[in-house]
Amino acid sequence: MPTRFGSAQWKGDLGQGSGTFTVGKAGYQAPYSAGSRFEEAGGSNPEELIAAAHASCYSMALSFMLSLDGHTPISVDTTAQVTIEKVGDGFAITKIKLMTKGVVPGIDASMFQDYAQKAKVGCPVSKALSAVPSIELEATLG
Dist CA 58 CA 53 (whole Å): 8
Strands 6-11 and 28-33, sheet pairing: unpaired
Output the pLDDT for position 1.
Answer: 85
Residue pair 133/85 in contact by the 8 Å Cβ criterion? no
Asked if 96 and 78 touch (Cβ cutoff 8 Å), the reply is no
Contact 90, 129 (CB under 8 A): no
- Residue pLDDT, tens place only, 13-63: 999 999 999 999 889 999 999 999 999 999 999 999 999 999 999 999 999
Asked if 35 and 19 touch (Cβ cutoff 8 Å), the reply is no
Q: What average pLDDT does this structure show over 51-78?
A: 98
Cα distance between residue 100 and residue 78, in whole Å: 4
CA distance from start to end of the chain: 34
Q: What is the pLDDT of residues 121-141, one digit of tens each?
A: 999 999 999 999 999 999 999
Q: What's the rounded mean pLDDT across residues 96-118?
A: 98
Quick check: helix, strand or coil at residue 138?
strand
